[in-house]
Structure 1
Amino acid sequence: MEVCIDFLNRLDPDISVQILMYLEDPSDLVHVSSVSRSWRDFVIANGLFKNLCLRMFPQLSRVARVMELNKCRAKKPVEVGSSYSLEWESLARDHRVYATLAQVYTSLIVEDCISEAISASSTDHYPVESIHNTLLPAYTWRASYWSSKGQSNPAVPETLIYKLKSEFCVITEINICPFEQLLSSLHIYSSNSVRFRMGHPKGPNDLGSRHLGDSLPCNADDTFNWTYASPEFPMAQEGRLQNFRLPEPVLCIGGILQIELLGRVQRHEMDGLFYICISYVQVVGRSLSPTFCVEILEPSGTFVLKNEMQGKFYTPPSLPKNEAHEISDDQLQRGFRY
């Protein structure tokens, strides 16, 4: 048609928002922002990029505020203006930060996100059978694994805690390889099932004394705040790398992962006790640093989302010189019939 129909000007704003909320790809929302200045302003005013990120990562509902930190150049002082201009600047800042977040997530490569092992709930022969052995793939020429202490009750669980590469990353799956041992017969020291929790330390010094016999000096729940808990996954009684894909990508805020190993299945021939042994752990996801970092606000558990590389990923879309032409109701009806 020779003239454009701007449905944002013709429909109720709430209906227009509902239409645009069907877009799930960040690049599509960027294209919407490129149609015209009025469309870009509509996207900003209604926080569509923020809503998209909240749908992708519900954990962002705990964001107290966002900040832009430009390390390349000093920021100009903010001029005092009307309340409307200040409100608009806040909306525009949210737009830039969340647009960058969505684009960073979709552009980064998937990688192993474990940085280091923090602690195990118990260790049989420390440091020979330490949790640190789970950071490297098992080799056939030597037995490298973590082992729990033996228990007469097979229902006693164990936990492994790891620090991720950044305090702000997206996790999609965890891979675990149980240890298998060949004595008079093949023994596989897996657990019945596994569950995952993610969170952050309650205080900046809570990890300072973690290397005490490879276990925390107190209960892990006293040291960490857990902001996500996965469903329980059954574990196969097989000595292979087993994949546990999360129901949806999880935004880990704080960079701490706990693996809960639930139930024991293998009794040791020498002492008759039940053990759990793990050869290798791999955490698959995307690290959002150094573009983003977080500041945890205690005791509320909310956090400040900081964009430390402003403008590196997000570029405001180029806009056409002319806005969409306004048309008459008669032309509009003919256009809809067409």
Structure 2
Amino acid sequence: MEVDECGGWDFLEWVGPDTSACVFRLLDDPADLARAAAVSRSWRRFVIDNELSKNLCLRICPEVANFTRAVEVSRSPPPPAAHASESSHEAELRNLERDHRIYSYLSGALVSTKPSMDCILHCIVASSTDNFPDESIKNTLEPLDRINHRPSYWSSGGQDDADVPESLTYRLNSDLCIIDEIRIQPFKAYFQPGHPIYSSKSVRIRMGHSKIPHGAEFFVTDEDENLRVIADENYVWTYTSPEFPMLQENELQTFKLPRSVLCIGGVVKIELLGRVQKQDTDDRYYICVCHAQVIGRSLSPDFMVDISDPAGYSILKYLPGASNLRAEDIVPDDPRDSSEWHPLVARYKRMRHLAMMNVLLGPVQFMDEDDIGGVTDDDLYM
């Protein structure tokens, strides 16, 4: 039995690799796993070789399985042919070290206590709209049901069948967000007799990304909203929640997910299942929402995602130090930047600009100044 660096017996040698792996996998806090890896070189090697940081990420958020690989994007380009002479074993060890480093930081980000906020950046589309644009999905971004003494809400089209569902689809402020809950406020038609509330029977949440090429995603911009492509085959949903019953009450109702969910791709679809209220004037069922929120936190700019596989698999990109970038650090065509870093820096600049435009011009209120870098839009996809 080997002696560890402190002169005592090595626990890993004493109990054996299988039992050691079982014990280490009981650690459910990234800080505890990091401390274990810092005990000795043999413990660190054991944590790295068994990919325990990645396994911990998978236990925290099973959506991590959608990443085909992880890439670390450094600002400085690597030395030419730095790894040309290394053996396959050395290359494997280097890759394991890299993955350990990336997933260690990711696990910490997944359980961060950073305050949550409304992550909606803008609307993509509603499954139907009764009177466009007066009753558009864009109204759901407003926290009030009356703006300038006028009602503010989204209304579905009318249906004779109470079981016909509706959906509201939104773009989040980052391609990678941790989502904890959804909040929805049904609309109370205070201008109709009896003040009916047009809630749905239940709610279900889907998260994922669009398969439509960047720059061509369908946004709500004109009266053709109801003709937009909204079919599920145009999206990859990496998470689907259970159904939550909705109360027929005019209040912001919270639907807490069973666990924190990693939204890969920045798209959230709120499905409104079943109708409960008819409108007296046409005797048809409607669903109306005056406000919606997707509560969570962004993982950008330290982490980004490259969604290049139509099957839904993606590449996780870690940018160490990106969150500390200042405006003066971002110089176009800086020869000191690596070939991968420069386009990500350019994307980061566009993120900041888009965030500022939404804060200044739109109703979205979801971030503080420190979080501005974590915003993305469809035309920001790599």
C-alpha distance in 2 between matches for 1:15 and 1:189: 57
The aligned amino acid for 2:141 is L
The answer to whether the 8 A contact 2:125-2:218 is kept is: no
Give the TM-score of the pair, scaled to structure 1.
0.87
Q: Deviations over 1:295-314 (max 9, x none)?
A: 1132332111100226979x
Q: How many residues align?
A: 311
Is it true that 1:297 corresponds to 2:317 in the alignment? no
The answer to whether the 8 A contact 1:67-1:307 is kept is: yes
> Does the C-alpha gap of structure 1 residues 254 and 311 become closer, same or farther in structure 2, counting only changes over 3 Å?
closer
The aligned amino acid for 2:77 is A
Q: In the TM superposition, what is the alpha-carbon distance from 1:184 to its structure 2 partner?
A: 2.6
Q: How does 1:103-118 map to 2 (within 5 A)?
A: 103-107=108-112, 108-118=114-124
Provide the residue aligned with 1:138 in structure 2.
Answer: 144
The answer to whether the 8 A contact 1:179-1:189 is kept is: yes
C-alpha distance in 2 between matches for 1:158 and 1:59: 26
Q: How does 1:44-83 map to 2 (within 5 A)?
A: 44-71=48-75, 73-77=76-80, 78-80=82-84, 81-83=86-88
The answer to whether the 8 A contact 2:127-2:168 is kept is: yes
C-alpha distance in 2 between matches for 1:216 and 1:113: 26
Provide the residue aligned with 1:19 in structure 2.
Answer: 23
C-alpha distance in 2 between matches for 1:61 and 1:155: 34
C-alpha distance in 2 between matches for 1:52 and 1:32: 13
Percent identical among aligned pairs is 47
Provide the residue aligned with 1:198 in structure 2.
Answer: 207
The answer to whether the 8 A contact 1:68-1:310 is kept is: no
Provide the residue aligned with 2:134 in structure 1.
Answer: 128
The aligned amino acid for 1:129 is E
The SS at the match of 2:225 is: coil
Q: In the TM superposition, what is the alpha-carbon distance from 1:12 to its structure 2 partner?
A: 1.4
Q: Deviations over 1:63-122 (max 9, x none)?
A: 111100112x23334323111110100100110000011112333331211110110011
Q: Deviations over 1:231-256 (max 9, x none)?
A: 11110111101110111111111111
Provide the residue aligned with 1:251 in structure 2.
Answer: 262
Higher relative contact order (CA 8 A, sep 6+): 1
C-alpha distance in 2 between matches for 1:274 and 1:47: 53
The aligned amino acid for 2:70 is V
C-alpha distance in 2 between matches for 1:20 and 1:26: 11
Give the TM-score of the pair, scaled to structure 2.
0.77
C-alpha distance in 1 between matches for 2:301 and 2:35: 26
C-alpha distance in 1 between matches for 2:165 and 2:304: 33
The answer to whether the 8 A contact 2:207-2:266 is kept is: yes
Return the match for 2:92 from 75, 87, 102.
87
RMSD: 1.9
Counting helix residues as a fraction of each chain, which structure ranks higher? 2
> Does the C-alpha gap of structure 1 residues 207 and 162 become closer, same or farther in structure 2, counting only changes over 3 Å?
farther
Counting strand residues as a fraction of each chain, which structure ranks higher? 1
Hey, which bits of structure 1, 4+ residues long, moved more than 3 A? 2-5, 139-142, 205-212, 310-313
The SS at the match of 1:297 is: coil
Q: In the TM superposition, what is the alpha-carbon distance from 1:139 to its structure 2 partner?
A: 4.5
C-alpha distance in 2 between matches for 1:311 and 1:120: 35
Return the match for 1:288 from 299, 302, 315.
299
C-alpha distance in 2 between matches for 1:295 and 1:264: 38
The aligned amino acid for 1:241 is L
